[in-house]
Amino acid sequence: MEIVLISITAFATAILTFFSGFGLGTILTPVFMLFFPVELAIALTGIVHFFNNIFKLILVGRNAKKEVLLRFGIPAVLAALLGSLVLLNITNSIPLFSYVAFGKLYEVYPVKFIVSILLILFASMDLIPYFQKLQFGKDKLILGGFLSGFFGGLSGNQGALRSAFLIKAGLSKEALVGTAVVISTFVDFTRLGVYATRFEKSGLFENLELVIWATLSAITGAYLGNKLLKKVTLGFLQVLTAIMLILMSICLGAGIL
């Protein structure tokens, strides 16, 4: 059941990432969390995200702008390393807090709570007009790289911040997409290198079939999305998905998921 659900989600989301503002990790991570612990869900999503980016790199990577890659990408990679280390070192041995509701005890652990807050923040960026219009000048590229890379390593979510900083970098549409893909690929490679130190213990290798199907689905969706890449907007679907992500994140942070 999880293979079918996750593969369909990966396919649909990969299409949307090209033109709707969605991030593959933003939507796919909570779906993985329905079936796996938070740390493993982020790692599994990262693998699918990485190979999907490799395919997109072949499609549009040649349009990346070298100057922006250096100013934004280097801080992003270094910060992704830091964020990944933080994720792996957040202890889950002791609940952050617990409570009783409807006669049942719920325990909330640090990783779930932190990731739920981050997912709510990034999903909210698709709902609040202020965040949708948020842009930074070219002089903030280094700061933007650090922030997007850190949160990419910590939770797998980096697209919203990256877009906010790159949109004012004077790039054409093609250069913006190509530059974002290259940066995202290097961030994924960095964080997966850190996650790999725990892969054997976390049970990743027992779920390789799931990863392969989800990756193939995402690549197929990316191919189709590139063919459809025009002035397409999916405002209603974007808002609906953001609301669902927030509700799921609340359940995660409350210890229900």
In this predicted model, what pLDDT tens digit does every residue of 97-116 receive, in sequence order? Answer: 777 777 788 777 777 787 77
State which of 10-19, 162-171, 178-187, 244-253 shows the largest mean pLDDT.
178-187
**Continuous segment of H or E residues that includes residue 42:** helix 38-60
Does residue 29 register a pLDDT over 70? yes
C-alpha to C-alpha distance for 29 and 38, rounded to whole angstroms: 9
* Annotated domain spans of the chain: 2-253
For residues 255 and 53, which has the higher predicted lDDT (pLDDT)? 53
Section 19-31 average pLDDT? 65
Tokens of residue 68, six digits: 């922006």
How does 119-158 read in b/e, with b if 16+ C-beta sit within 10 Å? bbbbbbbbeeeeeeeeebeeebbeebbbbbbbbbbbbbbb
Does residue 76 register a pLDDT over 90? yes
Side chain identity at 159, as an amino acid letter?
G
C-alpha to C-alpha distance for 245 and 62, rounded to whole angstroms: 33
Choice among 64-73, 133-142, 178-187 with the minimum mean pLDDT: 133-142
Does residue 231 register a pLDDT over 50? no
Residue-wise pLDDT tens digits, 211-220? 788 888 878 8
pLDDT value at residue 256: 65
Banded pLDDT at 131 (limits 50, 70, 90): low
